[in-house]
Amino acid sequence: MADAAAALAGAVVRYPGRPPIGPIDLTVAHGEIVALVGPSGAGKSTILRLLAGLERPSEGEVRRATTGATGFVFQAPTLLPWADALINVALPLELAGLAPAAARERAAAALAAVGLGDRLDARPRQLSGGMAMRVSLARALVTEPDLLLLDEPFAALDSVTRRRLIEDLHRLWSGRAPRPAIVFVTHDVEEAVYLAGRAIVLDAATGAVSASLASPGALPRPLDWRADAAYRHAVEELAAALSRAMPADQAA
């Protein structure tokens, strides 16, 4: 665990009326970006909740580094509708006891880092979907987390906005020293290969890890990497692994 930001060891989660999820064994190294892919209901969001400490396993262990904050970005931005962007981003710092003036100074810097330095006073209703997700990302990053968890944060966005946010996430990740560990859920195999250094495939029937595939090349990605033959091969390999993890009546 010394070289890990978080880990699951034999974790099993039981919900009423459905088969258990797991056992799950997963280790996320410091500074690593990991994608979780799998059929709906395989337990991807459950793994994030376990890693965040929002849920406890029925069996097994969740191990997390004892120092450093954890940031969580949900599928929807979950912003306070009555508060402007600055107050939304400053909120976790103020809840942690930081003086409001200092919290808002750091929040302004976090919003500037995601390209919203000129929208500090904007309410959520005044923001596009992409802008609202940038605010949510700034709020997760303002605490300088060692572990950042993202639950399909780009799923509802158009493809151009998704690509821009992925590039922003790589830029923000690579600009931190030390770099945070990132675990994100996606149904998009191309997004998984491009954004992560490793993709974890979950089995439809059990939620256990059925495959762990390393993405080729270094992060962040060079320009036009999506046209690289190694990228296309990795996408097809991951798609095949995902197909094998699907229920027999859903596999292509």
**pLDDT tens per residue across span 72-108:** 998 888 899 999 999 999 999 999 999 999 999 999 9
| pLDDT given at position 78 | 87
One domain, residues 89 and 12: no
CA pseudo-torsion sign 188, 193, 194, 195? positive
One domain, residues 17 and 114: no
| pLDDT given at position 130 | 87
The model's pTM is 0.91
Q: What is the CATH number of the domain that holds 165?
A: 3.40.50.300
* pLDDT tens per residue across span 63-72: 987 666 888 9
d(CA 163, CA 143) in angstroms, rounded, equals: 24
Residue 182, domain member (yes or no): yes
Q: Find the helix or strand (DSSP H, E) in which 245 lies.
A: helix 229-245
| pLDDT given at position 67 | 67
Residue 73, domain member (yes or no): no
Instruction: Classify residue 226 by its DSSP letter.
Output: G
d(CA 83, CA 122) in angstroms, rounded, equals: 8
Last residue within a domain, chosen from 111, 144, 177: 144
One domain, residues 112 and 198: no
Look at 17-21, 149-153, 196-200, 211-215 and tell me which has the smallest mean pLDDT.
17-21
How many C-beta atoms surround the C-beta of residue 209 within 10 A? Answer: 20
Q: What is the domain range of residue 123?
A: 80-144
Number of domains comprising the chain: 2
Show Cβ contacts of residue 101 under 8 Å, excluding neighbours closer than 6 positions.
none
DSSP string of 147-199, one letter each residue:
EEEEESTTTTS-HHHHHHHHHHHHHHHHHSSSPPEEEEE-S-HHHHHHH-SEE
Last residue within a domain, chosen from 100, 124, 144: 144
Last residue within a domain, chosen from 102, 124, 144: 144
Query: pLDDT category, 2, cuts 50, 70, 90?
Result: low
